[in-house]
């Protein structure tokens, strides 16, 4: 048996290379392989990341991952999908004099991979995630969140191991992230794309919402269509049922001050459009549904709360992002308990208190 015959077939890897070939031709990418990939006990989930240089539409590095999909033999049970069903790309604006891509970008993509491999949670176009800090830790940038779009050039490919989507990571500001939540991730990102050619991430740029035309477009879509965000993960969430003699039960919901404005905003953009909305915490879940009168019921470990239109409209004024207990006007059975949110740095030290 020859040395070549001993190598495992790399159908998935070869398919990624083949997808890139029509775009980059003979250009040899900077490729960064993992010395010891996770499958062999290492710390890096991805087996490699390639970086290609681009001059247009703006100078940037185009990173592409190898490892979310099945690179070698087919191992998963789903013949239609390869591995997690996607690979990531990332376009990062760079100076034309740059010879090598920044190492933080490679670590950043590996960190996303760690999240996916450890949690089993995957991404799709229109999804977004807050980074709890700047995308590049040593850079004073406004880019502090990410979103995902279909890579406009790579799209989707079929491999011997199944389908693979190329999802592009896009760096966004926190106000832009809120705009995605309030309307539609896909539609908001499409609007941003008119100002971000190929959705290139530029650490030096400002907030796109400062452009009146962009802000007006997003506000119009939000006002007419409401929000497509059906649930929100929150750091602080709890609920209690209080038995009362000769009266119906009372209920209290506990939430963190930091996320109160977003919670209130999304309730106002979901329930009036006849759409439910859920809060998901570490140990609790609360689902809000529209109805004519207030009611609450327990479903296993979860709580379902029905709110009438007047109560929903009263939320904004009744529940501020300040620690305290607040009752909605006309709904004495329901109390919101807002607790302080403590923001910590990587060393676990409290650097900011909200509420």
In tens digits, what is the pLDDT along the chain, a chain of 355 residues? Answer: 444 455 678 889 999 999 999 999 999 999 998 776 666 667 889 999 999 999 999 999 999 999 999 898 888 888 899 989 999 999 999 987 678 999 999 999 999 999 999 988 899 999 999 988 899 988 889 999 999 999 999 999 999 989 999 999 999 999 999 999 999 999 999 999 889 999 999 999 999 999 999 999 999 999 999 999 999 988 899 999 988 776 778 899 999 999 999 999 999 999 999 999 999 998 899 999 999 999 999 988 899 999 998 889 888 889 999 999 999 888 889 999 999 888 776 667 777 778 7
Domains of the chain, residue spans: 3-225, 231-343
First to last CA, the chain: 69
d(CA 62, CA 165): 16
pTM of the model: 0.86
Judge contact between 301 and 312, C-beta under 8 A: no
- Nearest 5°: CA angle at 225, between 224 and 231? 140
- Nearest 5°: CA angle at 191, between 108 and 264? 80
Comparing C-alpha atoms, which of 79, 99, 8 is closest to residue 47? 8
Bridge partners for 162 per DSSP: 159
The distance from CA 74 to its chain's CA centroid, rounded to whole angstroms, is 28
C-alpha distances out from residue 224 to 179, 181, 231, 269, 329, Å? 14, 15, 20, 10, 27
The distance from CA 315 to its chain's CA centroid, rounded to whole angstroms, is 26
Judge contact between 84 and 68, C-beta under 8 A: yes
Judge contact between 30 and 51, C-beta under 8 A: yes
CATH superfamily, domain at 231-343? Sufu, C-terminal domain (3.30.1360.230)
SS3 content of the chain, % helix, strand, coil (to 5): 30, 35, 35
């Amino acid at each position: 048996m020859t040395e070549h015959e001993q190598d495992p077939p790399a159908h998935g890897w070869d398919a990624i290379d083949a997808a890139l070939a029509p775009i980059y031709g003979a250009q040899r990418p900077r490729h960064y392989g993992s010395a010891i990939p996770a499958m062999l006990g290492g710390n890096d989930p991805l087996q490699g990341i390639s970086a290609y240089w681009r001059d247009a539409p703006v100078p940037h590095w185009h990173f592409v991952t190898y490892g979310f999909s099945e690179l070698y033999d087919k191992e998963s049970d789903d013949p239609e999908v390869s591995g997690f069903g996607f690979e990531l790309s990332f376009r990062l604006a760079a100076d034309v004099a740059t010879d090598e891509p920044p190492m933080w970008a490679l670590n950043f993509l590996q960190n996303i991979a760690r999240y996916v491999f450890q949690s089993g949670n995957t991404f799709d176009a229109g999804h977004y995630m807050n980074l709890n800090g700047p995308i590049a830790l040593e850079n004073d940038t406004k880019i502090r969140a990410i979103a995902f779009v279909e890579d406009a050039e790579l799209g989707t490919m079929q491999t011997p191991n199944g389908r693979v989507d190329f999802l592009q990571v896009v760096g966004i500001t926190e106000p832009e992230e809120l705009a995605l939540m309030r309307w539609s991730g896909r539609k908001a990102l499409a609007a941003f794309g008119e100002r971000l050619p190929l959705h290139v991430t530029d650490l030096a740029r400002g907030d796109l919402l400062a452009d009146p035309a962009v802000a007006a477009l997003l506000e119009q879509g939000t006002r007419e269509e409401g929000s497509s965000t059906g649930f929100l993960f929150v750091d602080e969430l709890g609920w209690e049922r209080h038995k009362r003699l000769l009266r119906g039960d009372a209920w209290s919901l506990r939430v963190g001050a930091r996320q109160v404005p977003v919670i209130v905003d999304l309730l106002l953009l979901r329930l009036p459009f006849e759409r439910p909305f859920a809060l998901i915490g570490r140990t609790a879940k609360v689902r809000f549904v529209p109805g004519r009168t207030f009611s609450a019921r327990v479903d296993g470990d979860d709580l379902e709360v029905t709110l009438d239109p007047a109560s929903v409209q009263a939320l904004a004024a009744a529940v501020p992002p300040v620690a305290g207990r607040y009752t909605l006007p006309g709904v004495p059975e329901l109390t919101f308990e807002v607790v302080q949110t403590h923001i910590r740095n990587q060393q676990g030290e409290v650097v900011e208190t909200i509420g």
